């Protein structure tokens, strides 16, 4: 019987470039930036990497449909390099492929890297080329990502008989919390704290989502080198072992669109992926066992409903948890510990690995005291690609071995 990959794979090294409007840098430049930190952190020679998986979504303005540009940019030593994408879960898919390759015994040391030059598309959001991933799943008057995701708020309000004013209060707190965290992170794109009052007074994009409730458009790259725990121990004798506890990806079956049992107030894919990931990681009670997490806050309302989809907040209880500070940096389970998509933006091919990097840095005690999580046990990351009614969800959990 399949048992998953819990503790069969260790993270040997990670790297992350500075996210932002990187007009001065090509996609290859960003790859080199994240890879250089990653290979130095891993403490190995490049020739020891046996395979690589590269994630990028908008191939028209990045590195094309092939993985060859990655091999060229990084001067990889004549090894198999594979390009992949899966909407906004692309970087997590690259990480999953690398981990599975090690867990299967096919390779000992594997690179996963994700890169995106989203600013170069010239769009204020996801480009039209991403329509098959997002916009084509929208229809009618709300045929935009903000419009489609804003409907989560009205559906949630209807399901739980909650005034929209309370939801607006909660998502303002969520955005303010993320900006406060991002302001302390030198690699974040947006590094300025914003008050809840400023957030509520901002221009409306798609009710109830204002300007500060929507993540930005950025360029970025992040990378990881994974191996077996035995090899990691032999190389990193004086460093804690960081292992992969679970990786789960769930794609919609389409039932949300054709059946009447979906409320529209959450993501079925996330709910199912979370249960699978907790089982693989051996987590019985995520509300008590998780130490920190980053979720796919493309919009603040998405983060709000995801608290329940991840089975951390009780159904209908996200408002109380958010407003009590449960997910704040000094709360019980801090969320968006690095600023999240809200402050890093969402270069599609890089986001999932950037999230894992945030957890990894915490486990190795490499963050300043003002944003340090005390004695973390499990760190979870969550990606969501597509639209509320048709999407793919990806969850990774890492921790000390």
Residues 316-344 have pLDDT tens digits of: 999 999 999 999 999 999 999 999 999 99
CB hemisphere CA count around 2 (13 angstroms)? 8
Domain that holds residue 285: 133-214+245-400
pLDDT in tens, 3-31: 899 999 999 999 999 999 999 999 999 99
Task: Give a yes or no: residue 149 inside a domain.
Answer: yes
CATH number, domain at 179?
A: 3.40.47.10
Nearest to 58 by CA among 113, 147, 111, 120: 120
| Whether the predicted pLDDT of 136 surpasses 90 | no
- The string of DSSP codes covering 302-346 is HHHHHHHHTTSSPTT-HHHHHHHTTTSTTSSS-BSTT-HHHHH--
Domain match, 304 and 258 both: yes
- Give how many domains the chain has, as a whole number: 2
Q: Is 87 helix (H, G, I), strand (E, B) or coil?
A: coil
Is 250 or 139 the better-scoring residue by pLDDT? 250
pTM: 0.95
pLDDT attached to residue 130? 47
pLDDT attached to residue 61? 66
Q: Give backbone dihedrals phi and psi of 89, rounded to 5 degrees, phi first.
A: -95, 10
Domain match, 267 and 358 both: yes
Per the listing, tokens 């590195």 go with: 63
Domain match, 48 and 61 both: yes
Domain match, 178 and 259 both: yes
- 153 contacts: CB under 8 Å, gap ≥ 6: 164, 167, 171, 208, 209, 301
- Mean of pLDDT values over 199-219: 96
- Mean of pLDDT values over 267-275: 97
Domain match, 337 and 250 both: yes
* CA separation, residue 175 to residues 68, 217, 224 (Å): 39, 16, 28
Domain match, 394 and 253 both: yes
Q: Which helix (H) or strand (E) holds 230?
A: helix 229-235
- Mean of pLDDT values over 42-47: 97
Domain match, 203 and 94 both: no
CB hemisphere CA count around 152 (13 angstroms)? 27
pLDDT attached to residue 138? 47
| Whether the predicted pLDDT of 128 surpasses 60 | no
Task: Categorise residue 135: left if φ over 0, alpha if ψ from -120 to 50, beta otherwise.
Answer: alpha
pLDDT in tens, 298-311: 999 999 999 999 99
Contact between 336 and 294 under an 8 Å Cβ cutoff? The reply is yes
pLDDT attached to residue 260? 79
- Mean of pLDDT values over 154-179: 97
Percent of the chain whose pLDDT exceeds 70: 93
Confidence tier at 60 by pLDDT (50, 70, 90): low
Domain match, 291 and 173 both: yes
Confidence tier at 2 by pLDDT (50, 70, 90): confident
Average pLDDT of the chain to the nearest whole number: 93
């Amino acid at each position: 019987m399949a048992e998953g990959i819990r503790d069969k794979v260790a993270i040997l090294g990670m790297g992350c470039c500075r996210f932002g409007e990187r007009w001065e840098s090509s996609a290859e430049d960003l790859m080199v930036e994240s890879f250089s930190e990653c290979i130095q952190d891993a403490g190995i020679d490049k020739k020891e990497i046996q395979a690589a998986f590269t994630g990028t979504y908008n191939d028209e303005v990045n590195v094309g449909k092939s993985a060859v540009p990655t091999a060229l940019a990084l001067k990889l030593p004549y090894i198999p390099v594979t390009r992949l994408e899966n909407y906004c879960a692309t970087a997590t898919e690259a990480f999953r492929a690398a981990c599975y390759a090690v867990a299967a015994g096919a390779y000992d040391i594997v690179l996963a890297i994700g890169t995106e030059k989203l600013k170069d598309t010239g769009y204020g959001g996801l480009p039209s080329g991403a329509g098959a991933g997002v916009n084509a799943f929208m229809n009618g008057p709300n045929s935009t990502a903000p419009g489609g995701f804003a409907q989560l708020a009205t559906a949630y309000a209807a399901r739980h008989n909650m005034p929209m004013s309370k939801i607006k209060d909660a998502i303002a707190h969520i955005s303010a919390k993320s900006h406060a965290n991002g302001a302390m992170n030198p690699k974040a794109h947006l590094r300025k704290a914003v008050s809840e009052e400023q957030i509520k007074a901002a221009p409306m994009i798609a009710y109830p989502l204002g300007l500060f409730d929507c993540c930005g458009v950025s360029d970025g790259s992040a990378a990881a080198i994974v191996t077996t725990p035995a090899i990691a121990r032999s190389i990193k004798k004086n460093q804690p072992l960081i292992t992969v506890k679970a990786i789960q990806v769930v794609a919609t079956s389409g039932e949300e669109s054709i059946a009447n049992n979906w409320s529209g107030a959450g993501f079925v894919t996330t709910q199912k992926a979370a249960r699978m990931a907790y089982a693989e990681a051996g987590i019985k009670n995520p509300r008590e066992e998780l130490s920190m997490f980053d979720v796919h806050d493309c919009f603040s309302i998405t983060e709000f409903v995801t608290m329940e989809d991840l089975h951390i907040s009780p159904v209908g209880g996200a408002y109380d948890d958010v407003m009590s500070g449960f997910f704040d940096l000094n709360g019980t389970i801090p969320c968006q510990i690095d600023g999240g998509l809200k402050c890093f933006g969402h270069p599609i091919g890089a986001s999932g690995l950037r999230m894992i990097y945030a957890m990894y840095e915490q486990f190795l005690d490499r963050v300043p005291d003002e944003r340090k999580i005390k004695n973390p046990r499990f760190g979870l990351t969550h990606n969501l690609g597509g639209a509320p009614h048709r999407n793919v969800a990806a969850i990774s959990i890492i921790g000390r071995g």
